[in-house]
Each structure stands twice: as structure tokens, then as C-alpha cells.
């Protein structure tokens, strides 16, 4: 939590003014019982209507000034809390963006979403209430007790006895519930994760008629969260009735004592009413304080979770070099990769070299490590053993942004962002000209997509590219990678939704580019890699063979099995 207060530094003025205005309001509120007592003892007792009228006007004035102070306090508290939450979200997103892929895999997307939304909102509410009530409520409680001592010492002893008892109840329940609220937020992560999976995979769920099973799983997680929330809620709910019981016992004792002392002439009726009003103020403020503590307890748990993310340091240290030469040569030297939390190696002892402008095909069965291999080039992951070199320099020595500016990636899952076709293409190069955009579209075989849209490049794109077909999304993501004019182009199974003719034209267009990039084509299709300069055949994280299509077809059983399963006619003629 201590790390988070730094984000309030820009709102020092608001953090001072909000409590000050609240205590100013409380000061006027503490004067009200004295005015009422004077009205009863002087105005009503003597039948002085003018005095009563003056006291009524004074009460109105106190109310108006108190309201103005309250509104001012609310304004400053809201400004500080909302600004604090905005800065915190920016810092949280920046911290998450700096994490490596491995750390993101370990933490999980659902918990990151919960911390950026629900946790930050809880913290914002906690800051808002703290600025308004953290000083005001204790000020009113102890101020009412001191005012009671100025009226009558014996009656005020009741206040002195009940306030410590109330503090024990309030802070005892707070200490009891803080660990529980942390568990609530952790279970909320689980529910958020289930909802996210169901929403992102809704088509698959419906295709396999798994709605009922997923509903049951979601209900199970939701019921677990509900039970925990109910448990914490029951503990927190004890606060109000227990404080009400203590206050009402104190009120009974106060009225009893007051009646006796009025009868003896030690107190006036107005003073008893004033003491009762002070006790009522204490009751109201303690209820507010109870709600404040519940909110702050939640905020503290959420703040610790947010602080944990902010304290994460990336396990990928940035290099210092900027590329001096830009040829696009890539070399793997005895590279192995093990994902965090995984015992088995995803890649083992990978070695090969890709010369500038060459096309490298990577093929193999599902889970053979094809995507893992190409993810090492732009440092999405770091090799656990060996070295990946670009133009003779280990990629770990480059500045990450400088390295990635040289690499164009069309990922396995085609992801487009809400906006327009133009705005998505400009992710590759924000300064790209119209001619460069058109050239990228031509090479990616995506010109017809733009021509077929009423608004051309300004055609709106839904979140995730939901308004486009799978093949259209893939071609636009390839175009986005080409807009960057990379020296190294990675096509990670990014033509799987394309027909063979379009796939062939795409590869031909890339091969005929003026500044042809070193291209890595990851594919399940033998047709997509057969014309590559070098084909790597992967199996269980190892390169089992490497060579041209003809050489592999002659000697590599795994490649033969993949190729002939896709071209059975050639298998018969070969046989």
C-alpha cells in the first residue's frame, strides 16, 4: 500500500482541502446542539419568540455554511480520488506492458483485468471516503465527547465509557475481515476468468454443446465466491447492530442520569437535549465510520494486490545496443527453451542459420514447438540455453524496441483492434504513406477487401475484427506486419484460413518484394513451405531434419507423412 500513496502526490492540495472542509462542516454541526439547548432554555422557557426566531436563523445559517463546506469537500475528494485512480491505472498498465510473456502467462489475464478494474475502483472509493470521513468522523466523535464535558462532567463520563467500547468493536471486526476480503478478490479473479473464457470461446462451446457444463462450472465458482462474500458480509454486518446496541444502552443511561440531574437542578432540559443530540451524532458518525472501515478494508486488500503487480520487475532485461547493420540474418546456436512453471523443455538444442532474404519454412505436428521457436526472435521469450542472433548480435543485447522495430509479426491468432482498417494498418508504422499502405495490402492479397468495403480504408473494424471473416483478418494482419517494412517477417500459421491459390499468390508477392525480408513461415501445410529455401521439421521440440522440399521428401519420414497425408494422389504415384 505504501507504494500507492506516491500517486496522490499530485493532489496534495485536494488531500488537505477535502478533510479541512469536512472538519469545518463538523465544527458547525457540533454547534447545533448548543444552539438548540439555548433555544429551549432561553427562548422557549421565557416565551421569547424573537430569540427563538434568531436561533432558527442561526441554525439555517449553520446548515447553509455546513452544506457549502460539504460540497467543497466532496469536490476536492472526488478530484483527488478519480485522478489517483487514473494515474494508478496508467501505472498498472505500464507495469503490465513491461512484463515478459512468461510472467504474463504465470499471472494470467483474468487477474490482471480484475486488478485494473474492480481493484482500482475499490481503491478509488476507499480514497474518496477516507478524505471525507477519516478525519471528520473521529473529530465529531471526540468533539461531541468534549462538548459533553463542557455541559456536565457526570453525564459526559457515559461518553468516555462507550466510545472505547465502540472502538474495540469497530477495529476488532476490521482486523477480522481484512484477510477475508483478500480471498474474496482472489475468487473474483476465478469468476472473471471463467466469464472471459466463456465469452471468448462462445462459438466453440456452442459447437460442442457444452453450454450446460460451462454453466455448471461458472455456477460452482460463483457459489464459492458468494459463500465467501456472505461469510465476510455476516462478520461485517455485526458492526452496525453491535454499535447500535452500545449506543442505545448509552442513550438510556444518559437519559436516566439526565432526568435525575434535571430533577435536582444540576442540569437544564436544554442541556439534556444537547447531550442526547451529541450522543446521536456519535451514533451517526460511528455508523459512517463502520462503513468507511469496511470500504477501507476492501481497499487495503485491493491495494496490496495492485502493489504486488507494480512491484513485479520484468525478468527480461533490456539491452543497450541499437542495430548498426540491417541485413536480417538470423542464427540459432544450441537454443533450448523452458516455459516458466513447466518441467519439460519446449525446445531442445535448436541450431540453424537464415541468410538475409531467405525463406525459412517451419513445419511439424501440433505442439512440436514451431511457434515457440519464432517467438524467440523478437524476444517474446528468452532462450533458457544457447543464443539467438540477429546480424551476428545476441538479441538480448539489443534494445527491445529497436529489435522489434525490425521484425514484422503476423501472429497465430489474427487480432485486429476497434477502429478502422487504416488505423489497424498504421500499427505497423504510424508514419506510413498512402502508397505504402496500398503496397502492403497488395502484397498481403488484401486489396480486394478494401475495394469491397464502402468506406475503403476508413471502413470500421469491430473489436477483435469480428466484422471480418477469418481469411480477411489474416490478410490484414499480414498487411499490418508488412507496413513496417521489416528485415525479418514472421508468418506464424497466419495463412491457415486462406485457400491454396491465395496462399500461393501471397508467398509469391513476398518473394518478389524489392527489399525482400528474411521470412519465417510457420505452417501445418506442406504446400506453404515447399518452396522455402530451408525447411525445418520439428518434432517434440527438436529439429529432426532440415533441408529443401525435395531432400526432405526423399529422406525424412515425418515430412513424408505430413506431405503425403495432404497430397494423397502423390503418395499413390510415389508408392
Question: For 181-222, what is each residue's pLDDT tens digit?
Answer: 778 877 877 787 788 778 778 878 888 888 888 889 888 888
Q: Is 432 helix (H, G, I), strand (E, B) or coil?
A: coil
Residue closest to 35 by CA, chosen among 69, 66, 70: 66
pLDDT at 154: 80
Contact (CB, 8 A) for 191 and 225: yes
Q: Please state the three-class secondary structure of 198-227 as a single string.
A: HHHCHHHHHHCCCHHHHHHHHHHHHHHHHH
Which residue matches cell numbers 446521536? 280
Query: Measured between alpha carbons, how far is 441 from 133 in angstroms, rounded to an integer?
Result: 59
Cell numbers representing residue 525 in the block = 501445410
Mean of pLDDT over the chain: 86
With pLDDT > 70 as the criterion, what percentage of the chain qualifies?
97
- Measured in degrees and rounded to the nearest 5, phi and psi for residue 383 equal -65, 140
Determine the average pLDDT of the residues in 387-414. Answer: 90
Query: Measured between alpha carbons, how far is 549 from 31 in angstroms, rounded to an integer?
Result: 93
Cell numbers representing residue 448 in the block = 480486394
- 574 band by pLDDT with thresholds 50, 70 and 90: low
Contact (CB, 8 A) for 10 and 61: no
Where does residue 555 rank: exposed (0-12), middle (13-18), buried (19+ CB within 10 A)? Answer: exposed
Query: Measured between alpha carbons, how far is 534 from 45 in angstroms, rounded to an integer?
Result: 106
Better-predicted residue by pLDDT, 324 or 96: 96
pLDDT at 201: 80
pLDDT at 572 exceeding the cut of 60: no
Q: Please state the three-class secondary structure of 151-186 as a single string.
A: HCHHHHHHHHHHHHHHHHHHHHHHHHHHHHHHHHHH
The DSSP element (H or E) to which 361 belongs, if any, is: strand 359-364
Residue closest to 37 by CA, chosen among 280, 358, 327, 275: 275
Cell numbers representing residue 473 in the block = 483478418
N-terminal to C-terminal alpha carbon distance within the chain = 71
pLDDT at 240: 73
pLDDT at 117 exceeding the cut of 90: no
Q: Are strands 407-410 and 488-492 parallel, antiparallel or unpaired?
A: parallel
Q: Interhelix angle for 136-151 vs 153-200, to 10°?
A: 170
Q: CA distances (Å), 426 to each of 135, 165, 562, in order?
A: 51, 65, 37
pLDDT at 322 exceeding the cut of 70: yes
pLDDT at 441: 93
Considering only CA atoms, give the Rg of the chain: 35
Exposure on the CB side of residue 94, measured as CA atoms within 13 A: 8
The sheet carrying 359-364 orders its strands as: 407-410, 488-492, 518-522, 359-364, 534-539, 542-547
**Over the stretch 453-478, which tens digit does the pLDDT of each residue have?**
888 899 999 888 888 888 899 999 99
Query: Measured between alpha carbons, how far is 534 from 524 in angstroms, rounded to an integer?
Result: 16
pLDDT at 452: 86
pLDDT at 29 exceeding the cut of 60: yes
Contact (CB, 8 A) for 37 and 114: no
**Over the stretch 336-346, which tens digit does the pLDDT of each residue have?**
998 877 667 88
Query: Could you please report the per-residue DSSP string of 83-98?
Result: HHHHHHHHHHHHHHHH
Length of the chain (residues): 575
Q: Give the max Cα distance, the chain.
A: 122
Q: Is 393 helix (H, G, I), strand (E, B) or coil?
A: strand
pLDDT at 333: 94
Task: Determine which of 164-168, 376-380, 427-431 has the lowest per-residue pLDDT on average.
Answer: 164-168
Residue closest to 55 by CA, chosen among 44, 65, 66: 44
| Number of CB atoms found within 10 A of residue 223's CB | 10
Determine the average pLDDT of the residues in 479-489. Answer: 93
- Measured in degrees and rounded to the nearest 5, phi and psi for residue 124 equal -60, -45
Cell numbers representing residue 175 in the block = 482486523
Exposure on the CB side of residue 54, measured as CA atoms within 13 A: 9
pLDDT at 270 exceeding the cut of 60: yes
Contact (CB, 8 A) for 323 and 391: yes
pLDDT at 97 exceeding the cut of 60: yes
Question: Please, which contacts does 164-169 make with residues 24 or more away whose CB atoms are closer than 8 Å?
Answer: 165/246, 166/243, 166/246, 166/247, 166/286, 169/239, 169/242, 169/243, 169/246
Determine the average pLDDT of the residues in 499-506. Answer: 89
Q: Interhelix angle for 12-38 vs 136-151, to 10°?
A: 30
Residue closest to 25 by CA, chosen among 59, 63, 55: 63
List alpha helices for 312-414, DSSP H. Answer: 370-375, 400-404
Query: Measured between alpha carbons, how far is 124 from 85 in angstroms, rounded to an integer?
Result: 6
**Over the stretch 59-92, which tens digit does the pLDDT of each residue have?**
899 989 999 999 999 999 999 999 999 999 999 8
Amino acid at each position: 500500500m505504501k507504494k500507492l500513496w506516491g500517486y496522490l502526490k499530485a493532489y496534495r492540495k485536494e488531500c488537505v482541502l477535502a478533510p479541512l472542509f469536512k472538519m469545518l462542516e463538523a465544527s458547525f454541526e457540533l454547534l447545533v446542539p448548543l444552539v438548540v439547548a439555548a433555544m429551549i432554555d432561553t427562548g422557549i422557557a421565557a416565551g421569547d419568540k424573537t430569540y427563538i426566531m434568531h436561533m432558527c436563523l442561526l441554525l439555517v445559517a449553520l446548515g447553509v455554511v455546513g452544506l457549502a463546506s460539504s460540497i467543497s469537500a466532496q469536490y476536492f475528494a472526488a478530484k483527488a480520488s478519480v485522478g489517483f485512480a487514473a494515474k494508478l491505472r496508467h501505472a498498472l498498465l505500464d507495469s503490465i506492458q513491461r512484463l515478459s510473456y512468461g510472467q504474463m502467462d504465470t499471472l494470467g489475464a483474468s487477474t490482471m483485468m480484475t486488478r485494473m478494474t474492480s481493484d482500482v475502483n475499490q481503491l478509488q472509493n476507499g480514497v474518496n471516503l477516507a478524505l471525507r470521513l477519516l478525519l471528520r468522523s473521529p473529530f465529531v466523535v471526540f468533539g461531541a465527547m468534549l462538548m459533553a464535558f463542557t455541559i456536565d462532567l457526570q453525564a459526559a463520563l457515559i461518553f468516555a465509557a462507550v466510545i472505547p467500547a465502540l472502538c474495540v468493536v469497530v477495529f476488532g471486526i476490521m482486523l477480522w475481515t481484512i484477510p477475508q476480503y483478500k480471498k474474496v478478490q482472489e475468487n473474483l479473479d476465478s469468476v472473471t476468468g471463467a466469464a472471459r473464457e466463456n465469452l471468448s470461446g462462445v462459438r466453440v462451446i456452442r459447437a460442442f454443446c457444452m453450454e450446460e457444463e460451462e454453466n455448471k462450472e461458472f455456477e460452482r465458482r460463483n457459489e464459492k465466491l458468494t459463500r465467501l462474500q456472505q461469510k465476510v458480509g455476516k462478520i461485517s454486518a455485526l458492526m452496525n447492530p453491535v454499535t447500535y446496541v452500545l449506543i442505545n444502552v448509552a442513550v438510556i443511561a444518559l437519559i436516566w442520569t439526565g432526568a435525575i440531574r434535571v430533577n435536582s437542578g444540576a442540569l437544564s432540559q436544554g442541556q439534556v437535549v444537547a447531550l442526547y443530540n451529541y450522543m446521536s451524532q456519535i451514533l451517526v458518525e460511528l455508523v459512517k465510520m463502520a462503513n468507511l472501515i469496511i470500504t477501507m478494508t476492501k481497499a487495503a486488500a485491493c491495494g496490496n494486490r495492485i502493489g504486488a503487480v507494480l512491484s513485479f520487475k520484468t525478468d527480461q532485461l533490456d539491452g543497450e545496443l541499437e542495430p548498426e547493420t540491417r541485413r536480417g540474418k538470423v542464427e540459432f546456436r544450441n537454443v533450448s527453451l523452458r516455459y516458466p512453471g513447466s518441467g519439460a523443455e519446449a525446445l531442445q538444442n535448436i541450431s540453424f542459420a537464415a541468410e538475409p532474404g531467405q525463406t525459412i519454412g517451419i513445419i511439424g505436428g501440433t505442439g512440436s514447438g514451431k511457434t515457440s521457436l519464432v517467438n524467440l526472435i523478437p524476444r517474446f521469450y528468452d532462450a533458457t540455453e544457447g543464443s539467438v542472433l540477429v546480424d551476428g548480435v545476441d538479441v538480448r543485447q539489443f534494445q527491445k524496441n529497436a529489435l522489434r522495430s525490425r521484425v514484422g509479426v503476423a501472429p497465430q491468432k489474427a487480432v485486429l483492434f476497434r477502429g478502422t482498417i487504416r488505423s489497424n494498418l498504421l500499427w505497423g508504422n504510424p508514419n506510413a504513406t498512402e502508397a505504402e499502405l496500398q503496397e502492403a495490402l497488395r502484397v498481403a492479397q488484401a486489396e480486394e477487401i478494401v475495394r469491397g468495403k464502402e468506406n475503403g480504408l476508413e471502413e470500421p473494424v469491430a473489436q477483435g475484427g469480428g466484422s471480418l471473416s477469418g481469411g480477411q483478418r489474416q490478410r490484414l494482419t499480414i498487411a499490418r506486419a508488412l507496413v513496417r517494412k521489416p528485415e525479418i517477417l514472421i508468418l506464424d500459421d497466419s495463412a491457415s484460413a486462406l485457400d491454396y491459390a491465395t496462399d500461393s499468390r501471397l508467398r509469391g508477392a513476398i518473394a518478389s518484394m524489392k527489399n525482400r525480408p528474411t521470412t519465417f513461415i510457420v505452417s501445418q501445410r506442406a504446400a506453404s513451405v515447399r518452396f522455402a529455401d530451408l525447411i525445418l521439421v520439428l518434432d517434440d521440440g527438436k529439429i529432426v531434419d532440415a533441408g529443401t522440399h525435395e531432400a526432405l521428401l526423399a529422406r525424412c519420414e515425418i515430412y513424408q507423412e505430413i506431405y503425403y497425408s495432404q497430397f494423397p494422389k502423390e503418395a499413390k504415384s510415389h508408392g
